[in-house]
Amino acid sequence: MQTRSLGTGGPQVLPLALGCAGMSDHTGPADEADAIATIRTALDAGVTLLDTADFYGMGHNEDLIRRALRAGDREKALLSVKFGGLRGPDGSFVGIEGRPAHVKNALAYSLRRLDTDHIDIYRPARLAPDTPVEDTVGAISELVRAGYVRHVGLSEVGPETIRRAHAVHPICDVQIEYSLFSRDPEANGILDTCRELGIGVTAYGILGHGLLTGAYRHPVGDDPRAHWLPRFHPDNLATNLALVERLRPLADARGISVAQLATAWVIAQSPERGTVVAVLGTRRPHRIKEALAAADVALSDADLRTIDEAVPADAVAGTRYTAPLMALLDSERGPDPSVGARN
């Protein structure tokens, strides 16, 4: 596979990255041996971009990555770290923080947990409601000048916030949920803005939190995802699973799985929509090989049209998250120029 530059002047990466959230308590318990093997398998296969956050497992995820990196691996790995998600002692999320003092404090602890002298890409997980993005990015830019951070990233922000942040310091990439089931970044100007400014896109949720794996055909018991992901709610699930089934013959015709087809679709959005890197969220080593095979699937323009006809952008039932979680997403507020105005 050919590497691609993650934004103008950004690092060279494969079209696939490894998302490590599921290896900690962020989405449920995981076997640490499998998690460590998954990270090492990815690095050995050339997947260098590892995505984490200081609040995944309240530090556990960073510590896990540190333990997974063998001698020489740190030089290969590109560590993308999110900060700003505040958690209470019971594990609940209690707020979003973006003040400059917090930025520097959070980085200090991440450097210690990861046992490294720099972070390759550092980004706020969400736009803090009471701190101008200029202040947050300005603090990261100071850390870049000091040598503690290599590149600045953003996550779940809209076009106006991207422009304001980019005016303070060049942005390497914007992390956003983007998949066959989450096409809003196409309509709300996020992808166009990133392409215009030479900013990469790291797309997470590429398998629709499990819906697009092709293995999820019906709920088993009380699926906790239905409580915070409306697309898993019984009112929406049948519609969404029917859409997945429309992809199955297209995947079968190519001798690949539905998950591989969905992954290949995300990767195929480059270069038309700028540099797009698919973030695979897995904690199983064998999934790395499957995803890398998907990255080698060449989808023609005709293939992409057929997939779009099978799963139109507006056909998915249910919003990405419940209303309280949606309210935290600057990316969902559209291109209104008043968004993110100083408080």
Residues designated catalytic: 56
H or E element that contains 242: helix 234-253
Per the listing, tokens 């499990």 go with 210
Residue 32 CA to residue 232 CA, distance in Å, equals: 27
Greatest distance between any 2 Cα atoms in the chain: 54
- Token pair, residue 243, equals 């859409």
Measured between alpha carbons, how far is 52 from 77 in angstroms, rounded to an integer?
12
Beta bridge partners of 253: none
CA-only gyration radius of the chain, Å: 19
Q: How many whole angstroms separate alpha carbon 273 and alpha carbon 194?
A: 8
Residue carrying the six token digits 């556990």: 60
Q: Which residues contact 113 (CB under 8 A, 6 or more apart)?
A: 54, 59, 62, 63, 66
